[in-house]
Each structure stands twice: as C-alpha cells, then as structure tokens.
Amino acid sequence: MKTALSYIVSSIVDSPDKVVITEENEGDFITYKLTVDKEDMGKVIGKNGKVIRAIRNVLKIPAIKQDKKINIVLEENSN
C-alpha cells in the first residue's frame, strides 16, 4: 500500500523527490504520514479536499482485503 501511495502522490506533485511517507502500525490500524513540499500541498488536497479523499478511498480497497484499517495524514514539509 505504501508503494501505491508513493506512486499516486509522486505523480501529482511537482517535486516528487520531496515526498516522504512514514508508516506506523498499531495492530490492524495503519497510519501513513505523508509529507510533501509546501508548494505541492494544494495539489494533494485538491478543491474541498477531493483529491486526498479520492486517494484515501483508493487505498481503502487493498486495506480491506488485508483486514486492516488505514489512515492518511498530510503534513507540510518545514523546508
């Protein structure tokens, strides 16, 4: 799932080299912390959050197949 998330986000942003994804597992719950460049934050969020919502929905499918729950948290790169 992490590679799929990385592929999707890197395809959207202008600075794919600044995309950082960290994964935290707690039992059946997986949290992905997605850090992108400040300039690319709007592209990942989209109008009214439609893009990030679509990314979350796409990644729910493999999570459900693995009996996991998934959460994607956006964080802004401080640089």
Instruction: Provide CATH code, domain 2-76.
Output: 3.30.300.20
Residue 78: per-residue pLDDT: 67
Share of the chain above pLDDT 90, in %: 81
> In the chain, which stretches have pLDDT less than 50?
none
User: Which pTM was predicted?
Assistant: 0.86
Residue 77 has a pLDDT of 73
Give the Cα separation of 60 and 70 in Å (integer). 7
CA 32 to chain centre: 6
Residues of the chain with pLDDT > 70: what percent? 97
HEC secondary structure over the chain: CHHHHHHHHHHHCCCHHHCEEEEEEECCEEEEEEEECHHHHHHHHCHHHHHHHHHHHHHHHHHHHCCCEEEEEEEECCC
